[in-house]
């Protein structure tokens, strides 16, 4: 499954938001990726997510594949909303 978000965090996905997202995704078994423009990053790898340098206003897609993909996605959506990182579109 996948969901698309528009980033509203002021400085984009910098260290703090990346730390939150990666920490949220890591405990799940499913594979998770973040797609921005034509590049994709492993959502469980902080280096890979940070090196995308996603700016504020950007539109990204997060996909999760695996047995607990629904739970993973719920957790990610929760982080996006509670931390004001962005909103689903």
Partner 1 sequence: MLELQGIAVSSGIAIAKAYCLVEPELPVEKMEIENIDAEIARLNETIIKTKSVLETIRNGMTDTVGEEQAAIISAHLLILEDPEMIASMKDKIKQHANAEYALKEVTDTFVQLFESMDNAYMQERAADIKDVAKRLLAGLMNVELPDVSLISSEVIIVAEDLTPSMTAQLDTRFVKGFVTDIGGKTSHTAILARAMGIPAIVGTKTASKSIPHCSMLIMDGDSGIVLEGATEEQQQHYRALQREFKLQNESLQKFSSLPSRSADGHSVEIVGNISKIEDIDSILTNGGDGIGLFRTEFLYMDRDELPTEDEQYDVYKSVLTKLEGKPAVVRTLDIGGDKEVPYLSLPHESNPFLGYRAIRICLNQQAIFRTQLRALLRASNYGDLRIMFPMIATLEEFREAKEILLDVKQQLETEGIPVSEKLQIGMMIEIPSAAIIADLFAQEADFLSIGTNDLIQYTLAADRMNESVSYLYQPYHPAVLRLIKTVIDGAHLHGKWVGMCGEMAGDTTAIPILLGLGLDEFSMSSSSILSARRQIAQLSKEKLATHIEHIFTLRTSSEVEQYVKTMLMEM
Interacting residue ranges for partner 1, rule: CB under 8 A: 10-11, 14-16, 18-19, 22-23, 26, 42, 44-48, 50-51, 53, 55
Q: Closer to partner 1 by CB, 44 or 73: give it.
A: 44
Q: Where are the alpha helices (DSSP H) in 1-89?
A: 15-25, 46-50, 69-82
Nearest to 3 by CA among 27, 32, 39: 32
Q: Kindly state the smallest distance separating residue 32's Cβ from partner 1, in Å.
A: 11
14 noted as active-site residue? yes
Q: Kindly state the smallest distance separating residue 50's Cβ from partner 1, in Å.
A: 6
């Amino acid at each position: 499954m996948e969901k698309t978000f528009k980033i509203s965090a002021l400085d984009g996905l910098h260290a703090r938001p990346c730390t939150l997202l990666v920490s949220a995704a890591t405990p799940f078994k499913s594979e998770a990726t973040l797609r921005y423009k034509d590049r994709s990053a492993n959502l469980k790898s902080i280096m890979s997510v940070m090196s995308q340098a996603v700016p504020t206003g950007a539109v990204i897609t997060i996909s999760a594949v695996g047995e607990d993909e629904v739970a993973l996605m719920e957790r990610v959506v929760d982080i996006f909303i509670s931390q004001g990182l962005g909103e689903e579109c």
